[in-house]
A and B are shown apart, each in its own frame.
Chain A
Amino acid sequence: MSAKWFGWKGKMLRIDLSKGKFTKQNLPKELARNYIGGRGVNAKILYDELKAGIDPLSPDNILVFSTGPLSGTPIGHGRTSINTKSTRMTPAEGGFGGFFAPELKYAGYDHIIVSGRSDKPVYVWIDDDEIEIRDAKHIWGKTTWETDEIVKEEIGDTDIQVSYIGPAAENLVYTCPVFCNLYHSGGRLGCGTVMGSKKLKAIAVRGSQGVQLAHPDEFEKVYIKWRESMDLKNGLDPFIAPYSLFGAHSLVRIYGEMAGIQTRNAQDLRFEYADELSREKMISTYDVKPKTSFGCVTPACGTWYRIDSGPFAGTEGAMIWADIVGMGLVEINSLPAGLYIRSLCDQLGLDFFHICYSIAWAMECYQRGILTKNDMDGIELKFGNYEGMIEMTKRMTCREGFGSILADGVKKASEKIGKGSERFALSIKGAELELLPLRILYIAALGVAVSESGPDHTKFIQVHLPKLDLIKPKLLKELKLGFDLEKAYKPQEVEGKGRFLKFLEDSRGVLDTLPFCVFLTRSNYNIDFRLWRDFLVAGTGVDYTYEEVMTVGERIKNVERAFIVREGFRRRDDTIPRRMLEEPAPCGHPPVTQEKFDKMLDEYYEARGWSKRTGIPLRTKLEELGLSRIVDDFLALEIEVE
């Protein structure tokens, strides 16, 4: 790498809240080369700087905000990557769109590392080189939207970018994300909660610098090539047309027709109200306009709505298709009610899936007579009762009565209530599931099971359903994938899933470092990432080969795995809820079954070079990836390394 930085700014900002001080450090070249940025650098910093076993809510924990070398260019898409150690002892890695990362980059920083804990609420103001830790007593307890407004008003600039938490994170509701631009959120496993534990309400940033690219002309050529691949006529993706018009929300009716929306705490997969909650209905009924992220070329991925009449008049907010899936879990059949709940969660700073799965679990407990109205403080949580859900959401935020039990997540709640309720507490490694129907998409079943940072479809999702006849045989020959793509793409085929998932995860790892929005990789069928290598080389001037880039993705996954191995996670934890393994859905979809799941998991471990017995990376794999230090760490901690 050359002495001059292209793409990267070459600077990290460390903020020690215990001391109320900050320092600026040079970004180590080796760190940038081996982990690129974003999620990659986050994973490495977290592994290196946190000792195994530390309390996530103590000052010892750190919180990292990251950009990547291409943040602030037309393809960074505003993705900010954040990571910390979650209260589930796993990484809480996540990303969000919006405009925060480009602004941070323009201020001159690749990463912010927050450590310690303030003794009073504060927020951080970054104005290029000037850093200030400010009192936040007056915004502590305010909603995310109020915080956004107050901070901007106080600084006197509505164009600054602010990341913040809501009152739920201040009250240490276990899985709160960090928010920006009102509705973008990331780090759903508790990045916001850790921020709350540090008494850090917000980070505001203004930048006036640009991003210097190594080869701008070449970068432009690659960009044009990518835009052509997104073209409606030339693009390979059959979802480009619906997606371009309606964004991800177009998937609601599509999944609904395939009986692919989990309903009544995933007891079934047929959601009768999909049409009622569809994007088509929203456009017909409410004032809807596109809301996108920095440099995004899909005009309608997120949508802003406003309700003008009825009991929820005045409600505003943003909606994506995942939210509708959450409504299936609790069987909400009223679009205005659903929109209101989503907006409420954003403003209180809650993770929508935590709310939906926790309340859906309580509703099933009520359905089965395990919990009574009295147990739930007089709220009759039965499926479809959105008024009850709204009230319980508020109580979860304030940690009031039964709400406080749900605020700790569905796993802990079920352990507390017992009486067999653990069976339908739908979580993995202590974190609630999210949107994908595991009984239909085996890749999702395996993907969420082996995820280190909790269920997260962006770590592996196939962004569309396959029509393989569009892929030219020549392309397949060139790519040498090492697995049968046709088989791997079949939703319920077991063979090939492990190898396919490894490929998907590694390539996602790379995208998360640049960063690049996974939903804008359309038209490459999730198999050809050479264009993204070209972006990286043109942007940074570092001559990565395609193999090297993909190895970065693999390295990140292994570092994330090493983090949870150190915390005691093993093969037994790489699983999915028994409901998905054993119970057929009434609509006709059979369960995955333990036997099929084990076969996929074995193949996955083999493809990864991890022990099939323990799920721990083998010594040879770690050494091959230049991670010998992890081998030493494992041995020092008496962790078996094969």
Chain B
Amino acid sequence: MPTFHLKYLAHIWVLTSKMDEVIESKAKTILDLIVELDKAYPGLKDLFIPPDIGILNVKTNIYLSRARKPARAINDPNEKLMDGDIVVLY
């Protein structure tokens, strides 16, 4: 199963109580991942994708780093994930 290194920054760290973790997940997109994480950290999905808006909350940030390249900002929740990706949430 693909593994992802998740990093929780600033106020998201308050929600997760951990700075980072490596998880195994079948998530294919950022959206899948957020839905999955919401089970462990209730409220996370509503923070990143508020129900009344339905798209990524512009006041939150998701960055993706692949193959040790500098992280880039993600604006589309349907962005595909690859095994080994580092996903930064704040």
Contacts and interface: CB of A to CB of B under 8 A. Distances in A.
Contact of B59 (A241, A257, A281): A241
Given A257-B88, A258-B70, A275-B19, A245 B58 contact: no
B10 A242 contact: yes
A61 interface: no
Interface stretch (A110-118, A130-138, A246-254): A246-254
A267 to B, nearest CB: 16
Residue among A250, A260, A280, A465 having the largest count of chain B Cβ atoms under 10 Å:
A280
Contacts of B9: 242, 250, 253-254, 257, 280
Interface string A460-474: 000001010110000
Contacts of B71: 257-259
B57 to A, nearest CB: 9
A589 interface: yes
Contacts of A281: 19
Contacts of B7: 253, 257, 275
A269 to B, nearest CB: 8
B10 A253 contact: yes
Nearest to A275: B19
Interface string B15-53: 000011000000000000000000000000000000000
Given A275-B19, A280-B19, A242 B11 contact: yes
Nearest to B65: A257
A238 B59 contact: yes
Contacts of B13: 280
Interface string A230-252: 00000001101110011000100
B61 interface: yes
Contact of B10 (A250, A259, A465): A250
Nearest to B70: A259
A237 B58 CA distance: 9
A250 B9 CA distance: 8
B70 A254 contact: no
A260 B14 CA distance: 24
Nearest to B9: A253
A588 interface: yes
A254 B10 contact: yes
A502 B68 CA distance: 36
Interface string B58-73: 1111010100111101
Interface in A505-524: none
Interface string A252-293: 011001111000000001100001001111000000000000
A313 interface: no
Contacts of B59: 237-238, 240-241, 467
B10 A238 contact: no
B70 to A, nearest CB: 4
Given A257-B63, A258-B71, A281-B19, A467 B58 contact: yes
B10 A241 contact: yes
A489 to B, nearest CB: 12
B69 A588 contact: yes
A587 interface: yes
Contacts of A254: 9-10, 61, 88, 90
A624 to B, nearest CB: 40
B70 A246 contact: no
Contact of B61 (A238, A587, A589): A238
B55 to A, nearest CB: 10
Contact of A242 (B58, B73, B88, B90): B90
Contact of A258 (B14, B20, B63, B68): B63
Nearest to A470: B58
A240 B59 CA distance: 9
Nearest to B18: A280
Residue among A238, A270, A465 having the largest count of chain B Cβ atoms under 10 Å:
A238
Nearest to A243: B10
B60 A238 contact: yes
Interface in A492-539: none
A245 B14 CA distance: 10
B70 A469 contact: no
Given A238-B58, A242-B9, A280-B13, A275 B20 contact: yes
Given A258-B70, A259-B71, A246 B61 contact: no
A589 B70 contact: yes
Nearest to A232: B59
A555 B7 CA distance: 46
Residue among A257, A259, A278, A465 having the largest count of chain B Cβ atoms under 10 Å:
A257
Nearest to B8: A280
Interface string A575-616: 000000000000111000000000000000000000000000
A278 B9 CA distance: 10
A246 B20 CA distance: 17
A254 B65 CA distance: 12
9 contacts: A246-B10, A250-B9, A250-B10, A254-B10, A254-B61, A257-B63, A270-B70, A465-B73, A589-B70
Given A253-B10, A467-B59, 12 more contacts: A238-B58, A242-B11, A245-B10, A245-B11, A253-B90, A254-B10, A254-B88, A257-B9, A257-B65, A259-B70, A465-B73, A467-B58
8 tightest Cβ-Cβ pairs between the two chains A and B: A242-B10, A259-B70, A250-B10, A238-B59, A257-B71, A257-B88, A241-B11, A467-B58
